[in-house]
Amino acid sequence: MTHSVNRRGMLKGSAMALAAAPFAGSVKAAVPAGQDGFQYEITRTEEEWRTQLGEYDFNILRMGATEDQGASPLWDDYREGSYTCKGCDLPVYTGNWRVETKKKWLFFRQSEPNSLLMNIDWPASANKNPAFAIFTSIEVHCRRCASHMGHILLIEEQVLHCINGASLNFTPEAA
């Protein structure tokens, strides 16, 4: 399928890009993991999380950051196996739901039942203003420890879970 862009479409896209510019640097969740008032099964102090995860993974799982594109060695590993939350080992995905893309993050069609919680991820400076709703996304968290996994997005005309490899432990299926 080919798409042509007319002048009106280009102007509309440019206007949306300009409107989004103030939010381009917002890569962290508005509410850090576990600080939303929900009672999670697994809780740790910030220091315990930092010790367990290390600074890089802490920033992603606990502060809601997004890993760099292609940073995870898992992004192009399509072996069968299971994926668990790096924060608590809860099974969250299986390899049979992986979707192959060239986007350099991990994509899944769906998660394991009762493994994730969703939240609206507003741009940091939008103050939940409905005018900026087009720039929101659905954030995905582990339901047991609140660790940030990634987002649910429309990718290549499919609704997919776009997940940080740093949020997961992978165990390949035995041969």
- 118-167 residue pLDDT tens: 987 776 666 767 776 677 789 999 999 999 999 999 888 899 999 999 99
- pLDDT on residue 124: 66
pLDDT tens by residue, 28-52: 565 677 677 778 999 999 999 999 9
The answer as to whether 103 is a domain residue is yes
The answer as to whether 21 is a domain residue is no
The strand pairing partners of 148, in sequence order, are 141
CATH number, domain at 136?
A: 2.170.150.20
- pLDDT on residue 33: 72
The answer as to whether 83 is a domain residue is yes
Q: What's the chain's average pLDDT? A: 82
The answer as to whether 33 is a domain residue is yes
Q: Identify whether the C-beta of residue 78 lies closer than 8 Å to the C-beta of residue 102.
A: no
- pLDDT on residue 4: 37
- pLDDT on residue 10: 33
Q: Is the pLDDT of residue 21 over 60?
A: no
Of residues 8 and 142, the one with the higher pLDDT is 142
- pLDDT on residue 31: 64
The answer as to whether 3 is a domain residue is no
Q: Is the pLDDT of residue 14 over 70?
A: no
Q: How far apart are CA 90 and CA 43, in angstroms?
A: 14
Q: Record the pTM.
A: 0.77
Residue 120 region, left (φ>0) first, then alpha (ψ -120 to 50), else beta?
A: beta
The answer as to whether 37 is a domain residue is yes
The answer as to whether 82 is a domain residue is yes
Q: Identify whether the C-beta of residue 107 lies closer than 8 Å to the C-beta of residue 165.
A: no
The answer as to whether 6 is a domain residue is no
Helix residue ranges per DSSP H, 21-156: 46-61
* Residue range(s) defining the domain that contains residue 48: 28-172
Q: Could you give the C-alpha distances from 64 to 75, 89, 108, 124, 172, in angstroms and in order?
A: 19, 18, 19, 12, 26
Q: Is the pLDDT of residue 11 over 90?
A: no
Domain count, the chain: 1
